[in-house]
Protein backbone atom coordinates (compact mmCIF):
# COMPACT_ATOMS: atom_id res chain seq x y z
CA UNK A 1 0.00 0.00 0.00
CA UNK A 2 1.33 3.43 -0.91
CA UNK A 3 1.85 6.03 1.80
CA UNK A 4 -0.83 8.33 0.33
CA UNK A 5 -3.33 5.47 0.22
CA UNK A 6 -2.64 4.68 3.87
CA UNK A 7 -3.13 8.29 4.93
CA UNK A 8 -6.43 8.40 3.01
CA UNK A 9 -7.63 5.25 4.78
CA UNK A 10 -6.77 6.67 8.17
CA UNK A 11 -8.47 9.95 7.32
CA UNK A 12 -11.70 8.17 6.28
CA UNK A 13 -11.67 6.05 9.43
CA UNK A 14 -11.30 9.23 11.45
CA UNK A 15 -14.44 10.64 9.84
CA UNK A 16 -16.39 7.41 10.37
CA UNK A 17 -15.43 7.36 14.03
CA UNK A 18 -16.77 10.87 14.54
CA UNK A 19 -13.49 12.70 14.87
CA UNK A 20 -11.69 14.10 11.83
CA UNK A 21 -8.15 14.91 12.90
CA UNK A 22 -6.16 17.78 11.53
CA UNK A 23 -3.24 15.79 10.14
CA UNK A 24 -1.03 18.83 9.93
CA UNK A 25 -1.46 20.32 13.39
CA UNK A 26 -2.01 17.12 15.42
CA UNK A 27 -0.59 13.64 15.50
CA UNK A 28 -1.28 11.88 12.18
CA UNK A 29 -1.42 8.59 14.10
CA UNK A 30 -2.18 7.71 17.68
CA UNK A 31 -0.51 4.92 19.60
CA UNK A 32 -2.83 2.49 21.39
CA UNK A 33 -1.79 0.17 24.21
CA UNK A 34 -0.82 -3.38 23.43
CA UNK A 35 0.90 -5.93 25.63
CA UNK A 36 4.53 -6.54 24.75
CA UNK A 37 4.32 -3.43 22.57
CA UNK A 38 7.13 -3.02 20.06
CA UNK A 39 5.83 -0.33 17.75
CA UNK A 40 2.24 0.30 18.89
CA UNK A 41 -1.10 0.20 17.16
CA UNK A 42 -2.82 2.56 14.79
CA UNK A 43 -6.12 3.50 16.35
CA UNK A 44 -8.61 6.10 15.04
CA UNK A 45 -10.41 7.86 17.89
CA UNK A 46 -14.11 7.53 18.63
CA UNK A 47 -16.54 9.97 20.18
CA UNK A 48 -19.98 8.60 21.05
CA UNK A 49 -23.03 10.27 19.61
CA UNK A 50 -25.18 12.57 21.69
CA UNK A 51 -28.20 10.28 21.65
CA UNK A 52 -26.49 7.00 22.50
CA UNK A 53 -27.45 5.21 25.68
CA UNK A 54 -24.85 5.43 28.46
CA UNK A 55 -22.54 2.43 28.87
CA UNK A 56 -23.61 0.77 25.59
CA UNK A 57 -20.06 1.02 24.27
CA UNK A 58 -18.28 1.51 27.58
CA UNK A 59 -15.77 -1.31 27.09
CA UNK A 60 -15.59 -1.35 23.29
CA UNK A 61 -12.62 -0.12 21.32
CA UNK A 62 -12.47 1.02 17.72
CA UNK A 63 -11.21 -1.58 15.22
CA UNK A 64 -7.56 -0.91 14.58
CA UNK A 65 -4.59 -1.78 12.44
CA UNK A 66 -1.90 -3.71 14.32
CA UNK A 67 1.79 -3.41 13.64
CA UNK A 68 2.16 -6.97 14.88
CA UNK A 69 0.00 -8.47 12.11
CA UNK A 70 2.00 -11.06 10.20
CA UNK A 71 0.99 -9.76 6.81
CA UNK A 72 2.48 -7.69 4.05
CA UNK A 73 -0.03 -4.95 4.89
CA UNK A 74 1.05 -4.91 8.54
CA UNK A 75 4.70 -4.79 7.57
CA UNK A 76 4.08 -1.87 5.21
CA UNK A 77 2.40 0.05 8.06
CA UNK A 78 5.26 -0.79 10.41
CA UNK A 79 7.92 0.31 7.92
CA UNK A 80 6.09 3.54 7.11
CA UNK A 81 5.78 4.32 10.86
CA UNK A 82 9.51 3.83 11.33
CA UNK A 83 10.21 6.31 8.57
CA UNK A 84 7.69 8.92 9.73
CA UNK A 85 7.49 9.00 13.54
CA UNK A 86 10.35 8.55 15.94
CA UNK A 87 9.68 6.60 19.15
CA UNK A 88 12.00 7.60 21.99
CA UNK A 89 12.06 5.34 25.05
CA UNK A 90 13.17 6.54 28.48
CA UNK A 91 15.40 3.46 28.52
CA UNK A 92 17.53 5.05 25.79
CA UNK A 93 18.51 7.76 28.29
CA UNK A 94 19.44 5.39 31.09
CA UNK A 95 16.17 4.69 32.89
CA UNK A 96 16.28 1.39 34.80
CA UNK A 97 12.57 0.80 35.36
CA UNK A 98 13.17 -1.35 38.45
CA UNK A 99 10.92 0.69 40.77
CA UNK A 100 13.84 1.60 43.05
CA UNK A 101 16.37 3.57 40.97
CA UNK A 102 15.65 7.27 40.55
CA UNK A 103 14.79 7.65 36.86
CA UNK A 104 13.94 11.37 37.01
CA UNK A 105 16.96 12.51 34.98
CA UNK A 106 16.18 10.02 32.23
CA UNK A 107 12.62 11.34 32.00
CA UNK A 108 13.86 14.93 31.78
CA UNK A 109 16.37 14.07 29.04
CA UNK A 110 13.75 12.13 27.09
CA UNK A 111 11.34 15.04 27.29
CA UNK A 112 13.97 17.49 26.06
CA UNK A 113 14.59 15.24 23.08
CA UNK A 114 10.98 14.62 22.04
CA UNK A 115 9.83 18.20 22.67
CA UNK A 116 12.51 19.57 20.36
CA UNK A 117 11.78 17.04 17.58
CA UNK A 118 8.97 16.73 15.07
CA UNK A 119 6.27 14.05 15.50
CA UNK A 120 7.84 12.02 18.26
CA UNK A 121 6.57 9.54 20.83
CA UNK A 122 7.79 9.58 24.44
CA UNK A 123 7.63 5.89 25.40
CA UNK A 124 7.40 4.51 28.94
CA UNK A 125 7.73 0.79 28.16
CA UNK A 126 5.30 -1.89 29.24
CA UNK A 127 6.19 -4.19 32.13
CA UNK A 128 8.50 -1.79 33.99
CA UNK A 129 8.16 0.53 37.00
CA UNK A 130 9.90 3.90 36.91
CA UNK A 131 10.52 5.85 40.12
CA UNK A 132 10.26 9.54 39.28
CA UNK A 133 10.63 12.51 41.62
CA UNK A 134 8.69 15.78 41.03
CA UNK A 135 9.21 16.82 37.39
CA UNK A 136 7.93 19.68 35.27
CA UNK A 137 7.53 19.03 31.54
CA UNK A 138 7.40 22.38 29.74
CA UNK A 139 6.51 23.53 26.25
CA UNK A 140 6.06 24.82 23.70
CA UNK A 141 7.25 21.82 21.70
CA UNK A 142 8.23 21.70 18.04
CA UNK A 143 5.11 19.77 16.98
CA UNK A 144 2.35 17.53 18.26
CA UNK A 145 3.62 14.65 20.35
CA UNK A 146 2.43 11.57 22.20
CA UNK A 147 3.30 10.44 25.71
CA UNK A 148 2.85 6.66 25.55
CA UNK A 149 2.72 5.39 29.14
CA UNK A 150 2.50 1.61 28.86
CA UNK A 151 4.43 0.87 32.05
CA UNK A 152 4.09 2.38 35.54
CA UNK A 153 5.42 5.71 36.79
CA UNK A 154 5.79 5.72 40.59
CA UNK A 155 6.09 8.71 42.91
CA UNK A 156 8.41 8.58 45.94
CA UNK A 157 6.48 7.50 49.01
CA UNK A 158 8.33 9.79 51.44
CA UNK A 159 6.98 13.38 51.58
CA UNK A 160 10.49 14.55 52.59
CA UNK A 161 11.51 14.20 48.93
CA UNK A 162 9.49 17.40 48.32
CA UNK A 163 11.48 19.49 50.81
CA UNK A 164 12.53 22.69 49.05
CA UNK A 165 10.26 21.87 46.09
CA UNK A 166 6.70 22.75 45.17
CA UNK A 167 4.56 20.57 47.46
CA UNK A 168 1.53 21.01 45.20
CA UNK A 169 2.73 18.98 42.23
CA UNK A 170 4.31 15.70 41.20
CA UNK A 171 4.16 15.57 37.37
CA UNK A 172 3.29 18.87 35.69
CA UNK A 173 2.78 19.45 31.96
CA UNK A 174 2.68 23.16 31.11
CA UNK A 175 2.37 25.12 27.89
CA UNK A 176 2.15 22.10 25.60
CA UNK A 177 -0.27 22.12 22.68
CA UNK A 178 -1.47 19.08 20.71
CA UNK A 179 -0.38 16.60 23.38
CA UNK A 180 -1.76 13.05 23.54
CA UNK A 181 -1.29 11.00 26.70
CA UNK A 182 -2.26 7.35 26.33
CA UNK A 183 -0.89 3.83 26.62
CA UNK A 184 -2.83 1.82 29.20
CA UNK A 185 -0.20 2.38 31.90
CA UNK A 186 -0.36 3.80 35.41
CA UNK A 187 0.62 6.97 37.26
CA UNK A 188 1.00 5.74 40.86
CA UNK A 189 1.08 8.49 43.49
CA UNK A 190 2.17 6.48 46.58
CA UNK A 191 -0.06 8.69 48.69
CA UNK A 192 -0.27 6.72 51.95
CA UNK A 193 2.19 8.81 53.98
CA UNK A 194 0.66 12.05 52.70
CA UNK A 195 -2.81 10.91 53.79
CA UNK A 196 -1.53 9.96 57.26
CA UNK A 197 -0.15 13.50 57.70
CA UNK A 198 -3.39 15.20 56.63
CA UNK A 199 -5.22 17.34 59.17
CA UNK A 200 -8.42 15.69 57.97
CA UNK A 201 -7.12 12.32 59.14
CA UNK A 202 -5.33 13.54 62.28
CA UNK A 203 -6.83 16.75 63.67
CA UNK A 204 -3.62 17.53 65.59
CA UNK A 205 -1.61 17.87 62.39
CA UNK A 206 -1.27 21.28 60.69
CA UNK A 207 -3.18 21.61 57.43
CA UNK A 208 -0.63 21.62 54.60
CA UNK A 209 -0.78 21.29 50.86
CA UNK A 210 -0.02 18.01 49.12
CA UNK A 211 0.83 17.24 45.49
CA UNK A 212 -1.60 16.73 42.65
CA UNK A 213 -0.38 13.65 40.79
CA UNK A 214 -0.76 14.89 37.19
CA UNK A 215 -1.31 18.54 36.23
CA UNK A 216 -2.03 19.81 32.74
CA UNK A 217 -1.74 23.59 32.65
CA UNK A 218 -2.04 26.24 29.93
CA UNK A 219 -2.28 23.60 27.22
CA UNK A 220 -4.57 23.47 24.19
CA UNK A 221 -5.87 20.52 22.16
CA UNK A 222 -5.11 17.97 24.86
CA UNK A 223 -6.10 14.32 24.69
CA UNK A 224 -5.76 12.04 27.72
CA UNK A 225 -6.96 8.53 26.95
CA UNK A 226 -6.74 5.04 28.39
CA UNK A 227 -4.55 5.58 31.44
CA UNK A 228 -4.80 4.78 35.16
CA UNK A 229 -4.05 7.29 37.92
CA UNK A 230 -3.94 5.66 41.33
CA UNK A 231 -3.41 6.64 44.99
CA UNK A 232 -2.46 10.25 44.41
CA UNK A 233 -1.01 12.28 47.27
CA UNK A 234 -3.98 14.65 46.93
CA UNK A 235 -5.87 15.45 43.72
CA UNK A 236 -5.31 12.94 40.94
CA UNK A 237 -5.62 14.87 37.65
CA UNK A 238 -6.00 18.62 37.26
CA UNK A 239 -6.79 20.57 34.09
CA UNK A 240 -5.95 24.24 34.67
CA UNK A 241 -6.20 27.02 32.09
CA UNK A 242 -6.62 24.51 29.29
CA UNK A 243 -8.70 24.86 26.12
CA UNK A 244 -9.91 21.87 24.16
CA UNK A 245 -9.54 18.79 26.38
CA UNK A 246 -10.80 15.29 25.67
CA UNK A 247 -10.33 12.80 28.53
CA UNK A 248 -11.60 9.31 27.70
CA UNK A 249 -11.43 5.81 29.17
CA UNK A 250 -9.66 6.79 32.38
CA UNK A 251 -9.49 4.88 35.65
CA UNK A 252 -8.87 7.07 38.69
CA UNK A 253 -8.66 5.11 41.93
CA UNK A 254 -7.95 5.70 45.63
CA UNK A 255 -9.43 4.43 48.93
CA UNK A 256 -12.54 6.08 50.32
CA UNK A 257 -10.59 7.28 53.38
CA UNK A 258 -7.95 9.18 51.36
CA UNK A 259 -8.44 12.94 52.00
CA UNK A 260 -8.87 15.57 49.27
CA UNK A 261 -8.12 13.06 46.52
CA UNK A 262 -10.46 14.49 43.86
CA UNK A 263 -10.46 12.36 40.74
CA UNK A 264 -10.60 14.93 37.93
CA UNK A 265 -10.41 18.64 38.78
CA UNK A 266 -11.26 21.29 36.17
CA UNK A 267 -10.16 24.87 36.82
CA UNK A 268 -10.30 27.92 34.54
CA UNK A 269 -10.69 25.70 31.48
CA UNK A 270 -12.97 25.68 28.43
CA UNK A 271 -14.31 23.12 25.98
CA UNK A 272 -13.61 20.06 28.12
CA UNK A 273 -15.09 16.62 27.37
CA UNK A 274 -14.81 13.74 29.85
CA UNK A 275 -16.23 10.38 28.74
CA UNK A 276 -16.35 6.67 29.50
CA UNK A 277 -14.39 6.73 32.76
CA UNK A 278 -14.38 5.01 36.16
CA UNK A 279 -13.55 7.17 39.18
CA UNK A 280 -13.47 6.10 42.81
CA UNK A 281 -11.59 8.23 45.37
CA UNK A 282 -11.87 9.85 48.79
CA UNK A 283 -13.28 13.15 47.49
CA UNK A 284 -15.18 14.46 44.46
CA UNK A 285 -15.08 12.13 41.48
CA UNK A 286 -15.20 15.24 39.28
CA UNK A 287 -14.93 18.81 40.55
CA UNK A 288 -15.37 21.97 38.48
CA UNK A 289 -14.33 25.36 39.83
CA UNK A 290 -14.11 28.99 38.75
CA UNK A 291 -13.85 30.36 35.23
CA UNK A 292 -14.72 27.05 33.58
CA UNK A 293 -17.11 26.98 30.64
CA UNK A 294 -18.57 24.47 28.20
CA UNK A 295 -17.85 21.26 30.10
CA UNK A 296 -19.38 17.97 28.94
CA UNK A 297 -19.31 14.84 31.08
CA UNK A 298 -20.73 11.57 29.75
CA UNK A 299 -20.80 7.92 30.78
CA UNK A 300 -19.13 8.09 34.18
CA UNK A 301 -19.05 5.50 36.97
CA UNK A 302 -18.41 7.18 40.33
CA UNK A 303 -17.81 5.58 43.69
CA UNK A 304 -16.56 5.72 46.33
CA UNK A 305 -16.22 9.47 46.65
CA UNK A 306 -18.17 12.69 47.05
CA UNK A 307 -19.97 12.64 43.71
CA UNK A 308 -19.89 15.21 40.91
CA UNK A 309 -19.49 18.78 42.17
CA UNK A 310 -19.58 22.32 40.88
CA UNK A 311 -17.45 24.25 43.36
CA UNK A 312 -16.68 25.20 45.84
CA UNK A 313 -17.02 28.74 44.48
CA UNK A 314 -16.51 32.17 46.04
CA UNK A 315 -14.15 31.29 48.88
CA UNK A 316 -12.47 34.29 50.52
CA UNK A 317 -14.94 36.76 48.97
CA UNK A 318 -13.66 35.85 45.51
CA UNK A 319 -15.50 35.99 42.20
CA UNK A 320 -16.18 32.81 40.26
CA UNK A 321 -17.93 32.00 37.00
CA UNK A 322 -19.03 28.54 35.86
CA UNK A 323 -21.48 27.98 33.00
CA UNK A 324 -22.62 25.54 30.33
CA UNK A 325 -21.90 22.32 32.18
CA UNK A 326 -23.68 19.15 31.09
CA UNK A 327 -23.57 15.76 32.78
CA UNK A 328 -25.25 13.18 30.54
CA UNK A 329 -25.14 9.59 31.78
CA UNK A 330 -23.58 8.69 35.12
CA UNK A 331 -23.87 5.98 37.75
CA UNK A 332 -23.00 6.80 41.36
CA UNK A 333 -22.54 4.06 43.96
CA UNK A 334 -22.22 4.51 47.74
CA UNK A 335 -20.98 8.10 47.44
CA UNK A 336 -21.27 10.79 50.10
CA UNK A 337 -22.93 13.20 47.68
CA UNK A 338 -24.51 12.81 44.29
CA UNK A 339 -24.90 15.97 42.19
CA UNK A 340 -23.81 19.07 44.06
CA UNK A 341 -23.31 22.81 43.64
CA UNK A 342 -21.51 24.45 46.57
CA UNK A 343 -20.64 28.11 47.16
CA UNK A 344 -19.24 30.12 50.06
CA UNK A 345 -20.97 33.11 51.59
CA UNK A 346 -19.41 36.42 50.61
CA UNK A 347 -18.46 35.37 47.10
CA UNK A 348 -19.71 36.80 43.82
CA UNK A 349 -20.18 35.73 40.23
CA UNK A 350 -22.45 32.96 38.96
CA UNK A 351 -23.03 29.28 38.38
CA UNK A 352 -25.55 28.92 35.58
CA UNK A 353 -26.59 26.85 32.60
CA UNK A 354 -25.86 23.56 34.38
CA UNK A 355 -27.70 20.35 33.48
CA UNK A 356 -27.53 16.95 35.16
CA UNK A 357 -29.42 14.26 33.28
CA UNK A 358 -29.75 10.50 33.01
CA UNK A 359 -28.08 9.74 36.33
CA UNK A 360 -28.54 6.57 38.36
CA UNK A 361 -27.74 6.55 42.08
CA UNK A 362 -27.40 3.66 44.46
CA UNK A 363 -27.19 4.22 48.24
CA UNK A 364 -25.99 7.83 47.86
CA UNK A 365 -26.13 9.81 51.12
CA UNK A 366 -27.13 13.20 49.65
CA UNK A 367 -28.31 12.74 46.05
CA UNK A 368 -29.12 16.34 45.00
CA UNK A 369 -27.67 19.42 46.71
CA UNK A 370 -27.39 23.13 46.07
CA UNK A 371 -25.70 24.78 49.05
CA UNK A 372 -24.85 28.49 49.15
CA UNK A 373 -23.66 28.17 52.75
CA UNK A 374 -20.73 25.84 52.19
CA UNK A 375 -18.14 26.05 54.97
CA UNK A 376 -15.14 23.73 54.97
CA UNK A 377 -13.53 25.23 58.07
CA UNK A 378 -12.80 24.25 61.65
CA UNK A 379 -14.43 27.54 62.71
CA UNK A 380 -17.99 28.68 61.91
CA UNK A 381 -18.21 30.82 58.78
CA UNK A 382 -19.67 34.31 59.37
CA UNK A 383 -22.97 35.27 57.74
CA UNK A 384 -22.51 37.48 54.68
CA UNK A 385 -24.98 39.17 52.37
CA UNK A 386 -23.33 38.51 49.02
CA UNK A 387 -23.22 35.14 47.29
CA UNK A 388 -22.43 33.46 43.99
CA UNK A 389 -25.64 33.57 41.93
CA UNK A 390 -27.00 30.09 41.14
CA UNK A 391 -29.53 29.91 38.29
CA UNK A 392 -30.73 27.88 35.33
CA UNK A 393 -29.97 24.50 36.90
CA UNK A 394 -31.71 21.37 35.59
CA UNK A 395 -31.94 17.92 37.19
CA UNK A 396 -33.53 15.57 34.66
CA UNK A 397 -34.15 11.84 34.74
CA UNK A 398 -32.42 11.25 38.09
CA UNK A 399 -33.32 7.90 39.62
CA UNK A 400 -32.13 5.60 42.37
CA UNK A 401 -31.81 5.28 46.14
CA UNK A 402 -30.64 7.51 48.96
CA UNK A 403 -28.89 6.38 52.15
CA UNK A 404 -30.40 9.29 54.13
CA UNK A 405 -33.93 10.61 54.51
CA UNK A 406 -33.33 14.03 52.91
CA UNK A 407 -32.78 13.30 49.22
CA UNK A 408 -32.92 16.85 47.82
CA UNK A 409 -31.59 19.97 49.52
CA UNK A 410 -31.68 23.50 48.11
CA UNK A 411 -30.18 25.86 50.73
CA UNK A 412 -29.97 29.29 49.11
CA UNK A 413 -29.29 32.85 50.21
CA UNK A 414 -32.19 35.19 51.00
CA UNK A 415 -30.26 38.06 49.37
CA UNK A 416 -29.20 36.08 46.28
CA UNK A 417 -31.76 33.26 45.94
CA UNK A 418 -31.38 30.31 43.59
CA UNK A 419 -33.56 30.81 40.51
CA UNK A 420 -34.91 28.75 37.64
CA UNK A 421 -34.22 25.39 39.25
CA UNK A 422 -35.82 22.66 37.11
CA UNK A 423 -36.73 19.21 38.39
CA UNK A 424 -37.84 16.81 35.66
CA UNK A 425 -38.63 13.11 35.95
CA UNK A 426 -37.08 12.52 39.38
CA UNK A 427 -37.56 9.23 41.23
CA UNK A 428 -35.46 8.92 44.38
CA UNK A 429 -36.35 6.53 47.18
CA UNK A 430 -34.72 5.49 50.44
CA UNK A 431 -32.56 2.41 50.69
CA UNK A 432 -34.34 1.67 53.98
CA UNK A 433 -37.79 1.93 52.43
CA UNK A 434 -38.88 4.90 54.60
CA UNK A 435 -40.47 8.09 53.26
CA UNK A 436 -37.92 10.53 51.74
CA UNK A 437 -38.02 14.32 52.29
CA UNK A 438 -36.77 17.50 50.62
CA UNK A 439 -35.51 20.84 51.97
CA UNK A 440 -35.84 24.23 50.28
CA UNK A 441 -34.76 27.69 51.38
CA UNK A 442 -34.99 30.63 48.93
CA UNK A 443 -35.05 28.24 45.96
CA UNK A 444 -37.27 29.19 43.03
CA UNK A 445 -38.16 26.91 40.14
CA UNK A 446 -40.63 24.35 38.84
CA UNK A 447 -41.13 20.71 37.97
CA UNK A 448 -41.82 18.83 34.75
CA UNK A 449 -43.20 15.30 34.62
CA UNK A 450 -43.17 13.08 37.69
CA UNK A 451 -41.05 14.25 40.63
CA UNK A 452 -40.72 12.04 43.70
CA UNK A 453 -40.36 13.00 46.47
CA UNK A 454 -42.54 16.04 45.95
CA UNK A 455 -40.77 19.30 45.16
CA UNK A 456 -40.57 22.08 47.75
CA UNK A 457 -39.36 24.76 45.28
CA UNK A 458 -41.07 28.13 45.23
CA UNK A 459 -43.06 27.93 42.01
CA UNK A 460 -42.14 30.20 39.15
CA UNK A 461 -44.56 30.27 36.22
CA UNK A 462 -42.55 32.91 34.35
CA UNK A 463 -39.38 30.78 34.63
CA UNK A 464 -41.22 27.79 33.20
CA UNK A 465 -42.62 29.72 30.24
CA UNK A 466 -39.14 31.09 29.47
CA UNK A 467 -37.71 27.58 29.70
CA UNK A 468 -40.38 26.26 27.34
CA UNK A 469 -39.55 28.91 24.74
CA UNK A 470 -35.81 28.34 25.08
CA UNK A 471 -36.12 24.57 24.67
CA UNK A 472 -38.96 24.62 22.12
CA UNK A 473 -41.50 22.85 24.33
CA UNK A 474 -44.81 23.18 22.53
CA UNK A 475 -46.92 21.99 25.44
CA UNK A 476 -46.44 21.84 29.19
CA UNK A 477 -49.43 20.54 31.22
CA UNK A 478 -50.67 22.82 33.95
CA UNK A 479 -50.42 20.07 36.53
CA UNK A 480 -46.64 20.18 36.14
CA UNK A 481 -46.43 23.73 37.48
- Catalytically active residues are 283, 306
φ/ψ of 115, rounded to 5, equals -70, -30
394-428: string of b/e by CB count within 10 Å (b at 16+)? Answer: bbbbbbbbbbbebbbbbbbbeebbbbbbbbbbbeb
- Residue 353: CB partners within 8 Å, gap ≥ 6? 323, 324, 325, 392
Q: Are 427 and 399 in contact (CB under 8 A)?
A: yes
Handedness of CA 113, 116, 119, 124 (dihedral sign): positive
Q: Are 273 and 209 in contact (CB under 8 A)?
A: no
Q: Is the bond preceding 453 in cis, omega lying within 30 degrees of 0?
A: yes
Tell me the C-alpha distance between 314 and 422, whole Å. Answer: 23
Give the largest CA-CA distance in the chain: 73
Among 147, 143, 183, which residue's Cα sits nearest to residue 23? Answer: 143
Give CA torsion, residues 332, 191, 296, 331, to 10 deg: -10
Tell me the C-alpha distance between 14 and 285, whole Å. Answer: 30
Q: Are 279 and 302 in contact (CB under 8 A)?
A: yes
First to last CA, the chain: 64
Chain centre distance of CA 107: 25
Q: Are 234 and 193 in contact (CB under 8 A)?
A: no
Tell me the C-alpha distance between 267 and 286, whole Å. Answer: 11
Bridge partners (DSSP) listed for residue 323: 293, 352
Amino acid sequence: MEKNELMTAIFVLGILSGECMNLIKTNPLELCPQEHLQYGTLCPSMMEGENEEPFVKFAEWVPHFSYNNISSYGMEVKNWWERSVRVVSVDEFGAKGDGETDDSKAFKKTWKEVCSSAYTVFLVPHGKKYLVKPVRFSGPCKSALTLQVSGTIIAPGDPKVWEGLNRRQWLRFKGINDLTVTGGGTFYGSGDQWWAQSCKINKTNPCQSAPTAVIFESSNNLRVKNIIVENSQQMHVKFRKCVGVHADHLKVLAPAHSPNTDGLHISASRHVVITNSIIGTGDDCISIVGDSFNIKIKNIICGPGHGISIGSLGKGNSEAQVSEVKVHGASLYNTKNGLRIKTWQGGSGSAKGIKFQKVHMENVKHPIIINQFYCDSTKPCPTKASAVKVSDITFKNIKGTSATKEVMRFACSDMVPCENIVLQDIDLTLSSGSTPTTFCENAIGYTIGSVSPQSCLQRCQQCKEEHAITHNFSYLPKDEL
